[in-house]
Chains A and B, each alone.
Chain A
Amino acid sequence: MVDVEYQPVGDQGVLVVFGDVIDDFTISSVQALDAALAADPPIGMTEAVPTFTTLLVCFDPLITDHPSLTAAIENTLNSVAAAISSDLDSGSKAGSKAGRTHTIDVCYEADCAPDMHAVCARMDLSPASVIAAHSDASYTVGMYGFAPGYAYLHGTPSPLQIPRNPTPGPPRPAGSVIIAGQQCLIIPSVLSTGWYAIGRTASAVMTDDDNHPFRFDVGDTIRFNVIDHDEFHRQSTDLINKRAYHINNDR
């Protein structure tokens, strides 16, 4: 049984609250409801916004209202509740049933990993063990937030769960892989942050394709593949050439 709370959001939504604590069961429950509502949207639903512990379901107030939408959500939730429980019993990781799996090439060396030394010092680890721990783990896309394209990945293993720095550090380039607590992010644009940059990818998390502008959806699984500095540079150059090709062909 999934126990939730429904809260009104102005004249435009209902917030489904699954709990306060970020854990696999809560994330799985949010994502199962999100997927079920997407597959069969209630009348008047306009969009759904998942976070780690809640799902906002927005509606058109000219078509439906809070009680009608809440009843529809409750029905959908009941129909997926059994599936959520059995998944968890069988030991599946959060979100692993819902989405696609992406493997992202990451360079953890030199200027791609400006905060590697800080993480090693703070967590008492060698660079090799940081890289092994980070790239062996699998991550779930838990939510987007902050700004367009910022996908919050859940699953940073406990030896790497470094508290975020209260003051933002120097700007990190797009493609930086940053960590703090249980979370990990691939930043789509330059950012000054209190998180720690331990690697960098040449793969763009936001694309120029208007039909698929974001590579990840909530519920997808992300894995990281270690590449060296030469390979990173080769991929970066490829990306720049591809972009230039697209721009020239758009004209």
Chain B
Amino acid sequence: MTTAMLRVHQAGPLVTIQDSGRPSQMRFGVPASGPMDPFAHRVANAVLGRPSDAATIEISVGGLMLECEVGPITVAICGGGFRIEHNSLRCSAWTVVTLHPGDNLRVAAGDYGSWCYLAFSGSLEATRWLSSCSTHVRAGLGGRVVTAGTELIIHDASADEDRDGPVEPPIDARPTRLLRVVLGPQPNCFGESAVETLLNREFTLTAASDRMGVRLNGPTLPLGDALSIASTPIVRGSLQVAGDGTATLLLADHQTTGGYPKIATVLSDDTNRATQLRAGDIIRFERVEPHEAIVAARTSASLRNRQLEALSKRPGIEARQLLSTNLIGGIHHQADTDTDTDTDTDDVPTETTVA
């Protein structure tokens, strides 16, 4: 057990420290923040045997380059389909690797996905606020934004080389394009036609997107006489419609209240998966009843637990060493193709449901 130090040489915008967030503070204007893709964050910690709320680096499509100055330390990268290089050698998109002093790690945007998580065999030094070191970017509270020159200090660092190797992404790691919604909570603010438009037309994610939310481009959702309503609470997953009829999907660093009406709320698991979409991607909304939303939440929670359990029993060291030898030889990693295959789980919508 020792202290490791990784020096960041390059970081895209919105690369931040995130643990599992600070729930139950919305009454003070504080959203939970935490990872945009909470499951990928959990996996990154789980494959290192770390607690699920441990602090990680959330990496955006802007990517990250770092060098190990003091080590060794084992790290995991999970989430999306990023391009990972360890000392210029390509690794699988979801991977565990041990960094020694002088080693370089490069994370860049890959085939798909907007966020991935760098977790550590050890405890990342970070500023806590309200019992969490998740970064609330706009308020500048908790954690920190990671930029070129940032020194990442990891206490109780360990080298667990027997964990090194590819991690197989869950079958639904690719983002959903069909988002299930419960209508409301302000149905009276919208006419029939707005709801019909929401449920029957396509919407495109715009580049007006950050940890707070993403603005959608699509047909106008006309408001009724609703422009002067009193502010009401916003949650992660709220679809808020501005005066000009454009919708915004609110995400991890959302405002906690807002004066524009909310036409619907996206189911939590679909919101989490949708964060891996990119600007230009097309989505659709499907209406479910509240009781169906509860069933979906319970189904996805037990699916997530099974997936985490399976990942904690990764294949034996020999098999993984063989796989990494193949990778170095230039053979494409199986995980990249696995996620293309459709699945037989009815409870989780996949891309093909829409296409």
On A, residues with C-beta under 8 Å from B are 7-13, 15, 17, 20-22, 46-54, 56, 58, 61-62, 65-67, 143-152, 189, 210, 213-214, 217-218
Contacts and interface: CB of A to CB of B under 8 A. Distances in A.
Contact of A148 (B28, B181, B291, B298): B28
Given A53-B232, A62-B301, A9 B29 contact: no
Contact of B294 (A11, A47, A213, A218): A11
A149 B256 CA distance: 11
Given A62-B297, A62-B301, A210-B131, A145 B231 contact: yes
Interface stretch (B133-141, B275-283, B311-319): B133-141
A218 B235 contact: no
B323 interface: no
Given A7-B187, A52-B231, A144 B294 contact: no
A46 B21 CA distance: 14
A147 B233 CA distance: 12
Contacts of A61: 268, 293-294, 297-298
Contacts, number: 141
Contacts of A46: 23-24
Given A11-B182, A51-B231, A189 B255 contact: no
19 contacts: A9-B184, A9-B233, A10-B235, A10-B268, A11-B182, A11-B294, A11-B297, A21-B230, A22-B230, A50-B27, A61-B297, A145-B29, A145-B255, A145-B256, A146-B257, A147-B29, A148-B30, A148-B136, A149-B29
B139 A144 contact: no
Interface residues of B, number: 46
B235 A9 contact: yes
Given A20-B229, A47-B23, 5 more contacts: A13-B235, A62-B298, A145-B29, A149-B29, A151-B29
Contacts of A21: 230
A7 B230 contact: no
B327 to A, nearest CB: 38
Q: Which 3 pairs across A and B sit closest by C-beta, in order of nearness?
A: A10-B265, A145-B257, A7-B185
B296 interface: yes
Nearest to B236: A12
Contact of A210 (B29, B129, B291, B293): B129
Contacts of B290: 8, 11, 65-66
A79 B266 CA distance: 33
Interface string B10-40: 0000000000000111111110000000000
B28 A147 contact: no
A148 B257 contact: no
Contacts of B349: none
